[in-house]
Every structure is written in structure tokens, then in C-alpha cells.
Structure 1
Amino acid sequence: LGCPLGHGGFGEVFRAVDRTATPPLYVAAKRSRRAADMEMLRKEARALDLVAGHPFIIELLDFIETPGGQTFLFLEFCGGGDLFDRAFVETAPDKRLSERAARPIVRRIAEALRHCLSRGVSHRDLKFENVMLSAEDPTALKLIDFGYACEAPAPPAPATQYDGVGTYQYMAPELWTATAGYRAPPVDCWAYGVLVFTSLSGFAPWGEAYATDSTFVRFEQSVASGAGACDALYGMYDLRCPFSPPACDFIDGLLTIDANARATVTQCLDHPWL
């Protein structure tokens, strides 16, 4: 193991070197000693096995449990930072992506999500920090951190999940009443919509899509009155949405409160904006 890179959802993350490769290969390693985190790493390894073989999904290189009670997840190394840095740090002073710059990234994320669903897996924690980039190609990306991933049976399968997991800002409205049951694929599409909107606008739409968040309550009221999602979000600040009509339509479909009416990943990939 080399220098620490930080903490993932369920363990420490290190830069490591595979000395058996020729030439030696840099990899990322997740390590955990806590029982609960070790189980999450096992779960992540199982999910990565299921979705293996896609160019826009991080590759699982090895999974090891030591006799000393440590669990290691070895992953391919991405040296270009995450999408948050690309969208909000490297774009200074604008602090947002143009539609032209965002489109290839947005499409590749959708392709990764479609592949996951084709293997019966839903990610459930899509966010900027879980999209890693290549140092060589500004549009090459890898979807990472499958610790919250779950089985995602194809429709018309009933609601099968009852745990409200994810990162607050990206969690769909149905996750806040998760005990009633929900289908996982629309949850990914909502988070995807939050990510796309934030990429183009430079600001997050809300803190959480729940009744305790006044911004989300105003958003709900506005869309109930007939406004599209993008117009509703900009209208709260007495601003006109600057996105192109196709981009607005794309995001409006994803940020649909009714999970059954929300745009699907397949519909996104067929959308004129992409």
C-alpha cells in the first residue's frame, strides 16, 4: 500500500502498486477492519462482479480477506480526479459546465447506468464524487463506489427496496418514505437528474427532496402548478432558465416527483439532447 487517498463510503482508500504486473501497475485499494464496513465491501465486490466489463465502470481487480481480520478491495486507479473537480474547480470562474462540455459526460454516465440495469444492479448513490475521471481523456470516466448497490429486477417487478440510502442531496422523494417500498432504478434516474442540473447551473437544486426542505417544498408547489423542473428551480430566484429547450426537457423528465412517470435511462439515451 502507498499513500492514503482518503475515505470511501466504507473504508480507507489508498494508492497501491501491483508489482506482479509488467510494468508495475498503480491501483486503488479500499481497506476496512470494522465488521459492518467489511460486509459492505463484500457487497460492493459482488455488485462489481455483476457489472464487470464496461468501459465506464470501475474494474474490480481483486478482493481479499486476511486472517488478521482485514478486507481489501483492489480497483483500477483513476488519476484525473472526480466530476466535482471537473465541473466546479477547473471551470473557474464559471463554476459550471457548458452544455457542449457536459453532453459527452452525461451520456457516458447514462451508458454506465444502463449497463448496470442490464445486469440487474442499481447503484443508489450516484453523485459527482462517485464519477472518477481519466487524467488523459477529459471525457473518459468511471462510475465507482457500489457499496449501496442492490438488485434491480426489471419492470413490472414490484417495489422491492425498503431502505432509504444514498446522499441526501441526490435522494429521490420516495427514499424519504422508504418503508412504503420503492423500485431502485428510478432512484438512480432522480440522482442523475440532480447531477445534470447541478452541472449546468452551478448550484444544487435543494438540500434534500423532503418536506423539511423549504426549497424542495416550493419546487413541489411550482411543478404542481404546471411549471417544468428547470423553470421552477430558476423561478424561485426570479431568474429565467438559461438552458436550451432540449436540455430543459431532458432534466424535467428526470426530476419528475412521481417515480412511475420519471424518465428512464433508456429514454435519456434516446433523447434529442444527447
Structure 2
Amino acid sequence: MARKIGSRYTAHQILGRGSAGTVWLGEGPDGPVAVKLLREDLASDEELVGRFVQERTALLGLEHPNVVSVRDLVVDGNDLALVMDLVRGTDLRTRLDRDRRLSPEAAVAIVADVAEGLAAAHAAGVVHRDVKPENVLLDMQGPLGPGGSHRALLTDFGVAKLIDTPKRTRATKIIGTPDYLAPEIVEGLPPRASVDIYALATVLYELLAGFTPFGGGHPGAVLRRHVTETVAPLPGIPDELWQLIVQCLAKAPASRLRASELAARLREQLPMLAGMPPLDVDEPDAEAAEEGTRGEPDEAAPSPASSAGVRRGSVPLVPGARPDSNRDTHTSMRVPAPDELAGGAHGTARVPRAAGAPRPGSARNRASTRRRRITLSVAGLVLAAAVGVGTWLATSGDDAGATPQETGTSAPAMP
């Protein structure tokens, strides 16, 4: 059923629902548009509406080939809506769900597109704050790029900032998706442009590996890993590309590249990635991801999630919650206390490994190591016993029929 959005737009069909609102296929004076209609409780928040109006100029002025442009912001009664360009295609999460991981060439080309869009936004003073595959759209109608990639456009600029009001978040909440949150956000610091770089590097890691570097398990464990763990290396990618990822996942915001620098460096990597197949690495299992929060299991049985082949990307913040149809997860989360962040194992998080190999430090690896140690210990005892028995038999047999001269001893001289 069609509904009017302000005086200029008509929404015809729901394209998706999320925690922040509903996305409609709409029509405006200049043709088809996408209309993001925010929830009614957001629309009734006077403070948020005021921020919405303040952001209008910045958002409307953000124009770039790799950004889904905001055409209008509508405030009409209980309606609060962003009117955006309509992109004919799909989002990057849908592509990942289908292919699990991309070839390095395609992954780097897509991330370079997004980095260029971020560079334009940061130059205009706009921080996205929620970079993730769900917010990257792929233009299926344009020409193909390196590795068969489609042009990537970043969408949902301004939504996280609009929702992140002091009234809603106070001092104990943060806005974003756990897998992609920079450490400084987890620690309660204000978001700068560098948080987008961290999130985008996380997306690149996920495109290459099929899983995020710090994701998996309880949201609190995910947040802790961002602060306390170092990123685990990915086997099979050029060292230059890996160093870029490491630099952009640095805990210190000042150590990360700027968006324009990241885009240029990624473009330089494309020739050496041509024809390289997707990586063949196994995702760390859910049991291993939770080892820092519970005791070591007696047996290394596969977890239900891993045995069923269920892919784990972003984790839901509410147990049992079903993901949104358009995967829009601008959700408030509690900031962990310092003692929580200090807990758990320190070191390298969720180490990927070659397909079929156990993860170093995992329950399966430790069980295998214990079995090897027991086998070696038993073998050592058996060998030691065999050597001892053989020595005794040899010595006793020689002594039974030997003369004093033969045994190496001398009889005392008779006077």
C-alpha cells in the first residue's frame, strides 16, 4: 500500500526492515528513490529531530561515485525519513552469504571503492561510524571492475550519528555492530574518522577470510578482543597487503592510514592480485572463540554451529534474536568495565589456519597434543623398561659362567 512521505515523495513497497526503521522503494519528482523511514519513537524525539535538521546540509552535500547520495531529509508529523539514490543491486553481506569469501583482487577492488567514498566523506567532516558489509551496496548495472567486482557504494551515512544522542546512549552505551567496532569506541572515546578505517579493514579481512578477525561468540567477548587481542595473520596473501591490513587495524587511531591513502595503496596492490583464487582457510570454531570465558573442555567435540556449517559473521546482541531483513544493526550496547576488558587471554585472536588443520591453542589442538604426549610418555616408559631388562639379562648371563678374568675382576693373590 502506497503512503505519502512529506509532500514530494510516495513510498510504494518495503525493501527491508531494520532496527532503525524501514527502507521503501519510493517515487519522487526526479524518479525512483529509496526512502529510509525511521522508527516512530525516533521521530517523536525532539532532540533527534533537531540533530536531523542540523545534519541536513552536510548529508545533502556529500556527492561521490562511491557514496549513496542523500537527496532529501523529510520531517513531516511523525515521519522522519532520509530520501536516497536507488541502487539497482544487492548489498555486500548478501554477496558474502552466497560466496563465503571473495578473491583477493575483487575484495581489494571493493574496499578501495569504499575507501574513496570515505575519503570524500571525511573531507566534508562526516564520519560514517557503522561501516560493515550490510552498508555497502553493489551496483549490478554498471561495468565490472577488477576480479569481476561490481562498483561499491557506501550507504546509511548519518544514521548512526542521528541515533547516538546523549539521551539514548548516556555514558554507558555505544552505537555500532560488535564485529566492526574500533577499540577506542569500546573504551568510550569519541568517534573520529579513524574508526571508519578500522571498520573497513575489518571488512577487507572478512572478504578475504570469510570471517571477521575478532568476531564470534558473546558480544562482550567480541568487544574485549578488539581492545586486548592482536589480529591473526591470514596465510596466502602478499605481505604488502597484509601489512596494510595490520596498519589499519592498529589499536592506536593515529597509526592507521587515512581513507585516501588506503584507497591509493589498495589500488597499487591490484596488479599482483590478478588471477589469485580465494583463500583456503578454516574459520575458527565457536568453541575456540569462547575458550577465554570458560574452562577447558574434556573432549574436543565440534560445536553445533561449526558441525552444521553455519556461518558466523556479526553476532546478535540479544540471545535468540533473529537478524533484520536488511541487517541494519544500529543497536546500543553497554560499554565493558575496565576489569572486563582486562579479562581473558591476551595474544593473537582466533588464529586462522589451513583447511583441515586444528587452530593452534584450540581444544582440538590441545586434545591432539595431550594424546601425543601420552603416547610418547608410554612409549618412553616401554623403551626404558626394555633397555633395563635387556641390560640385566645380558649382565646376569655373562656373570653366570665367567671366570674372574673374563668378568674383568682379579682374584686376590695368595700369600
Tell me which interval the TM-score lies in, with the shorter structure as reference length: 0.7 to 0.9
1:74 maps to: 83
User: Is the Cα contact below 8 Å between 2:67 and 2:154 reproduced in 1?
Assistant: yes
Displacement of 1:97 in angstroms is 0.7
Aligned mate of 2:23, from 1, 7, 13? 13
User: Is the Cα contact below 8 Å between 2:181 and 2:226 reproduced in 1?
Assistant: no
The alpha-carbon distance between structure 1 residues 33 and 195, as it changes in their structure 2 partners (threshold 3 A), is: closer
Q: Which 5+ residue runs of structure 2 have no aligned equivalent?
A: 1-10, 143-148, 163-170, 271-415
1:27 maps to: 33
Question: Is the partner of 2:35 in helix, strand or coil?
Answer: strand
The alpha-carbon distance between structure 1 residues 182 and 71, as it changes in their structure 2 partners (threshold 3 A), is: closer
The aligned runs of 1:135-146 (5 Å cut-off) are 135-137=140-142, 138-146=149-157
User: Is the Cα contact below 8 Å between 1:10 and 1:37 reproduced in 2?
Assistant: no
Cα distance in 1 for residues equivalent to 2:223 and 2:70? 39
The aligned runs of 1:98-113 (5 Å cut-off) are 98-113=103-118
The alpha-carbon distance between structure 1 residues 270 and 74, as it changes in their structure 2 partners (threshold 3 A), is: closer
2:367 maps to: none
Q: Which runs of 4+ in 1 moved over 6 A?
A: none
Displacement of 1:182 in angstroms is 3.7
1:213 maps to: 221
Structure 2 length as normaliser, TM-score?
0.51
The aligned runs of 1:167-178 (5 Å cut-off) are 167-178=177-188
Cα distance in 2 for residues equivalent to 1:207 and 1:80? 27
The alpha-carbon distance between structure 1 residues 45 and 87, as it changes in their structure 2 partners (threshold 3 A), is: farther
Displacement of 1:71 in angstroms is 2.2
The alpha-carbon distance between structure 1 residues 214 and 4, as it changes in their structure 2 partners (threshold 3 A), is: closer
User: Is the Cα contact below 8 Å between 1:88 and 1:202 reproduced in 2?
Assistant: no
Cα distance in 1 for residues equivalent to 2:104 and 2:191? 30
Cα distance in 2 for residues equivalent to 1:60 and 1:270? 26
The alpha-carbon distance between structure 1 residues 188 and 127, as it changes in their structure 2 partners (threshold 3 A), is: same
Q: Does 1:129 align with 2:146?
A: no
User: Is the Cα contact below 8 Å between 1:230 and 1:251 reproduced in 2?
Assistant: no
One-letter identity of the residue aligned with 1:140: R
Aligned mate of 2:254, from 255, 260, 265? 260
The alpha-carbon distance between structure 1 residues 123 and 2, as it changes in their structure 2 partners (threshold 3 A), is: same
User: Is the Cα contact below 8 Å between 1:45 and 1:73 reproduced in 2?
Assistant: no
Displacement of 1:216 in angstroms is 5.9
Displacement of 1:84 in angstroms is 1.2
1:190 maps to: 198
Cα distance in 2 for residues equivalent to 1:126 and 1:217? 18
Cα distance in 2 for residues equivalent to 1:86 and 1:217? 26
User: Is the Cα contact below 8 Å between 1:27 and 1:75 reproduced in 2?
Assistant: yes
Cα distance in 1 for residues equivalent to 2:72 and 2:227? 44
Structure 1 length as normaliser, TM-score?
0.75
The aligned runs of 1:223-242 (5 Å cut-off) are 223=230, 229-231=231-233, 234=234, 241-242=235-236
Number of aligned residues: 238
Displacement of 1:202 in angstroms is 0.7
User: Is the Cα contact below 8 Å between 2:227 and 2:251 reproduced in 1?
Assistant: no
Cα distance in 1 for residues equivalent to 2:263 and 2:97? 25
